[in-house]
Chain A
Amino acid sequence: MNRRVVITGMGWVTPLGQEIDAVWKRLLAGESGVRPTELFDARTFPTRFSAQVTDFDLRSFLGERYPQHASASRNSGFALAAAEMAWRDAGLTGAADDDAAERVGVYLGGGEGPIDFDNFAACAVAGWDPAERRLDALRWAEQAYERLNAVCELEQDPNSAAGHLAYRFNARGPNLNTLTACAASTQAIGEATQIIRRGDADIMISGGAHSMIHPLGVTGFNRLTALSTRNDTCLTASRPFDSTRDGFVLGEGAGILILEEYESARRRGARMLAEIVGFGSTADAFRVTDIHESGRGAIAAMRAALESAAVAPAEIHYVSAHGTGTEENDKLETLAIRTVFGENARNVPVSSVKSMLGHLIAAAGAVELITCVLAIRDGMLPPTINYSNPDPNCDLDYIPNRSRAARVDTALSNSFGFGGQNDTLVVRRV
């Protein structure tokens, strides 16, 4: 019994829009979604720009169902909107019938919800005892009960979005959330595929949703010096693989895919966009802050994915790189690709849509997998924009600046997370 898993629907919420084909067109045109940060006052931060989702209105996606999800955080809202689009795109309507509900599951790489920052900061200021240099828990608690509320606090739990989706689609099957940092939604899709293959579900709603564009999120990445600080030219700040790259650009959004068992999709006459044929997950097990200098974890993840797909490196027509635009990632990802693809490495087109969308953190992998599926569908490869200065350590074909027509039957998508987490997916034309 070899159950195959196909993608029958896709939806996304991105800094370049919220509709599959409209965003795809902008990606192929090489547009940048990066702008000065407006979600909070970042004017004195080392990084004052990001790739934000604009004009987002959850009501327009949920219609009369909106009140039931009024508690949704920004993350859960993105997830719900993207899932609505994916569900419809898959030719599904309403929600799962009760008798089929346990065969429909959810596996997300959902981020922790945005913090209620202004209230959090006010409580902290009031609770700090400067004379004793300690937190006065009594003073803090008084303020916290006054200012913080159950909805904002509890919706920050990373499993909230998966709970919203379960209710919206009556998905009573396996329901999980993984948070392996920037690799989370690639991981979620890979693991969800295994759940269908094994027979524990027929449909999995999978992908990720995340927004870290809030003061503490930006603070965290700024302190790590992981973000670009090209404040004066933010539109071109995200420059993966370029020798002048100075860090990634924080983005936000969601990507959701409907994964379905092949026979189930065939029976209902669903359009099959692509098949998920390979998945690999590994840990560097090296250092908290650095990637192993041989790229061993990324190499092992790509090899595991290719092996499980029974696909040779030479059969890969496109690689969607993790390609963050940090010095270390781009250099070591290039090394890893070179190691896995050998002599063929310079012939395989590689690009990073993070150059246009920024880094959607937990949601990045799902959005990037969608671009792989669209590349297969349309025979077009999205570019790496802002690429003008070659780096001797990054010597692959990055599809610089302009999209390119090319037949793609099989694509590989990489996601790597802080802490040495590596995940790779392989998708193929059905």
Chain B
Amino acid sequence: MSDRRVVITGVGPVAPLGVGVAEFWSALLEGRNAVRRISAFDPGRFDSHVGSQVEGVAAKDFVPKGYRKAEKIMARDIVLAVVAAHHAVSDAGLRTKCLIERGDATGEPNLDSTRFGANIGSGLICADLAELAEALHNSSENGRFSIARWGTEGMNNLTPLWLLKFLPNMLACHVTIVHDCQGPSNTITCGEASSHLAIGEAFRTIARGVADVCICGGAESKINPMALLRQSLGRRLSRRNDDPATACRPFGLERDGTAISEGGGLVILEDLEHARRRGARIYAELVGFGAANDAAPPTQPSTPPADGRGAALALRKALRDAKLDPQALDLVSAFAPGIPAHDASEAAALKAVLGARLAEVPILAIKGGIGNNGAGSGALDFIAMVLSLYNATLPPTVNGRFVDPSLGLRATVGRSVDARVETAASLAYALGGGQNAALLIRRYRD
């Protein structure tokens, strides 16, 4: 099978550190840290109080005028995706219907909408608790919820389109409407592995020729009481509430869990010939994708296998797919959420695949400054890796000073360093469910 070559021509990060490529990259280079006490609600009675939030974004700023009122039916996750989409298509120089209508781009569209696909990872979108709680409370009698009253009156407090705010494919729905992507469409829902799987599947979609351009990645918000509770019940969160800035410690000594977050990223993948024809800037070529499952006992709270076998297999498959040797890697983006068992499992996987090379390869681990948002985390990791390769610079690791020396990992500490990166791999895995995925990129050459 002669696969078409696929390149990355645009990135749209939406992170607590910064929105859009310029802000995000400079925040990474400066080693900024956005983890603090959660302010969106009072986290005082939860066991973890720390998180990182995206401030000051609204979908209405990035959609055609006639579509602004659609924001009323967008959960936070959807808003983040719509914002990311704007930045990604703008960064790629794509003249989509929306950008032309808004006057952000002039001329005719420079892509065929029916060959423009989408694959956007998402999570279990939490219903807006306040909206639902008021309606449920109004259906109570003497402090107890009455389902009879809910059926007759309570449910009518919800807006008719209520359900549509929370369907996971509504990220892709709104993004495809706004940017007129009529090609192959998909929504991967595999927890933290979602973005990588979505990017990998979009890669295949272009390679086999059914789309020329895909917008892909993921977004999620865990900044709400329900998501915080779920992560807490999963024993995934740091309790370093008195020192939020050092709460999330990728591969760190005394790491005790991650911090909840929100954000995501969408990237533009493009058939190489299509990108060349329109003279697009090429960040890197996507050359390998691998996916695997741990096939570990499905307990809750879940623990990953100590040998990181699924992550190792995903990485090996991505290397095989790219016909590359582990020796060829000169940067590895780790998922490293700062959770004791998961980070240890991942370190074991990296050691198993890279062997002696592990001591020489720098590790990129960005969650120290942002924590974990779920389905959109992988996209931010991937974008950070793409920018590191493209700019030949490695940003410092936030809380890198805590990295456990016994793991034998090389993290960049203190300040950014110059580094020529030819080939880089990014790993991600779901914290429950056992899904793992790896993506491999290479500096673009004709």
Q: Which residues of A contact B (CB under 8 A)?
A: 1, 40-46, 68-69, 71-72, 76, 101-102, 105-106, 110, 112, 118, 121-122, 124-128, 130, 133-135, 137-138, 140-142, 144-145, 148-151, 153-160, 162-164, 166-167, 170-181, 187, 191, 194, 198-200, 215-216, 219-225, 281-289, 296-297, 300, 304, 308, 417-421
A160 pairs with B296, CB closer than 8 A:
no
Q: Which of A69, A154, A418 has the most CB of B within 10 A?
A: A154
Which residue on chain A has the smallest CB distance to residue B128? A135
Interfacial chain A residues near B172, Cβ < 8 Å = 180, 283, 419, 421
B151 pairs with A177, CB closer than 8 A:
no
Interfacial chain B residues near A130, Cβ < 8 Å = 137
CB distance from A248 to the nearest CB of B (A): 13
Which residue on chain B has the smallest CB distance to residue A76? B298
A219 pairs with B155, CB closer than 8 A:
yes
Interfacial chain A residues near B208, Cβ < 8 Å = 194, 198
Interfacial chain B residues near A296, Cβ < 8 Å = 182
Which residue on chain B has the smallest CB distance to residue A133? B134
Interfacial chain B residues near A225, Cβ < 8 Å = 160
Q: Which of B43, B133, B152, B299 has the most CB of A within 10 A?
A: B133
Which residue on chain A has the smallest CB distance to residue B374? A157
| Cβ contact of B151, chosen from A44, A138, A171, cutoff 8 A | A44
- List 27 contacting pairs A-B, 8 Å CB cutoff, sorted by A: A102-B313, A110-B189, A122-B145, A124-B132, A128-B133, A130-B137, A137-B43, A137-B225, A140-B225, A157-B123, A162-B435, A167-B298, A172-B309, A173-B292, A175-B190, A177-B433, A178-B189, A191-B201, A194-B208, A223-B159, A223-B162, A224-B161, A225-B160, A281-B184, A283-B183, A284-B176, A418-B169
| Cβ contact of A421, chosen from B145, B185, B298, B435, cutoff 8 A | B185
Q: With A43-B148, A160-B298, A177-B189 in contact, do A198 and B292 touch (Cβ < 8 Å)?
A: no
Q: With A137-B225, A198-B208, A221-B163 in contact, do A285 and B168 touch (Cβ < 8 Å)?
A: no
Contact with A along B54-78 (1 / 0, CB 8 A): 0000000000000000100100000
Stretch at the interface among B29-37, B228-236, B330-338, B361-369: B228-236
A163 pairs with B433, CB closer than 8 A:
yes
Q: Is the interface of A mostly helix, strand, loop or mixed?
A: mixed
| Cβ contact of B136, chosen from A124, A166, A191, cutoff 8 A | A124
Interfacial chain A residues near B143, Cβ < 8 Å = 125-126
Is residue B210 within 8 Å, beta carbon to beta carbon, of the partner chain? yes
A285 pairs with B181, CB closer than 8 A:
yes
A170 to B137, CA, bound (A): 45
CB distance from B162 to the nearest CB of A (A): 5
Interfacial chain A residues near B177, Cβ < 8 Å = 285-288, 420
B300 pairs with A150, CB closer than 8 A:
yes
List the 6 closest A-B pairs by CB distance, nearest first. A44-B151, A220-B163, A419-B173, A175-B293, A163-B433, A128-B137
Interfacial chain A residues near B174, Cβ < 8 Å = 288
Which residue on chain B has the smallest CB distance to residue A3? B1
Interfacial chain A residues near B391, Cβ < 8 Å = none
A69 to B46, CA, bound (A): 29
CB distance from B149 to the nearest CB of A (A): 8
Interfacial chain B residues near A125, Cβ < 8 Å = 133, 136-137, 140, 143-145
Q: With A1-B1, A137-B45, A282-B184 in contact, do A162 and B158 touch (Cβ < 8 Å)?
A: no
A159 pairs with B435, CB closer than 8 A:
yes
Is residue B186 within 8 Å, beta carbon to beta carbon, of the partner chain? yes
Q: With A125-B136, A138-B45, A198-B208 in contact, do A162 and B124 touch (Cβ < 8 Å)?
A: no
A419 pairs with B167, CB closer than 8 A:
yes
CB distance from B141 to the nearest CB of A (A): 10
B182 pairs with A71, CB closer than 8 A:
no
CB distance from A267 to the nearest CB of B (A): 21
CB distance from A308 to the nearest CB of B (A): 8
Is residue B354 within 8 Å, beta carbon to beta carbon, of the partner chain? no
A162 to B167, CA, bound (A): 19
A137 pairs with B292, CB closer than 8 A:
no
A225 to B158, CA, bound (A): 13
| Cβ contact of A300, chosen from B114, B134, B163, B298, cutoff 8 A | B114
| Cβ contact of A283, chosen from B43, B118, B432, cutoff 8 A | B118
A419 pairs with B182, CB closer than 8 A:
no
Is residue B295 within 8 Å, beta carbon to beta carbon, of the partner chain? yes
Is residue B109 within 8 Å, beta carbon to beta carbon, of the partner chain? no
B201 pairs with A304, CB closer than 8 A:
no
A190 to B420, CA, bound (A): 40
Chain B contacts with A in 69-125, Cβ cutoff 8 A? 70, 73, 113-114, 118, 122-124
Interfacial chain A residues near B299, Cβ < 8 Å = 71
CB distance from B174 to the nearest CB of A (A): 7
Interfacial chain B residues near A287, Cβ < 8 Å = 177
| Cβ contact of A166, chosen from B45, B193, B229, B295, cutoff 8 A | B295
Interfacial chain A residues near B310, Cβ < 8 Å = 172
Is residue B279 within 8 Å, beta carbon to beta carbon, of the partner chain? no
A157 pairs with B173, CB closer than 8 A:
no
Interfacial chain B residues near A175, Cβ < 8 Å = 190, 291-293, 433-435
| Cβ contact of B186, chosen from A187, A285, A297, cutoff 8 A | A187
B164 pairs with A224, CB closer than 8 A:
yes
Interfacial chain B residues near A304, Cβ < 8 Å = 210
A180 pairs with B169, CB closer than 8 A:
yes
Q: With A179-B168, A191-B201 in contact, do A149 and B158 touch (Cβ < 8 Å)?
A: no
CB distance from A375 to the nearest CB of B (A): 27
A178 to B159, CA, bound (A): 27
CB distance from B165 to the nearest CB of A (A): 10
A158 pairs with B124, CB closer than 8 A:
yes
B140 pairs with A154, CB closer than 8 A:
no
Interfacial chain A residues near B291, Cβ < 8 Å = 105, 173-176, 200
Is residue B349 within 8 Å, beta carbon to beta carbon, of the partner chain? no
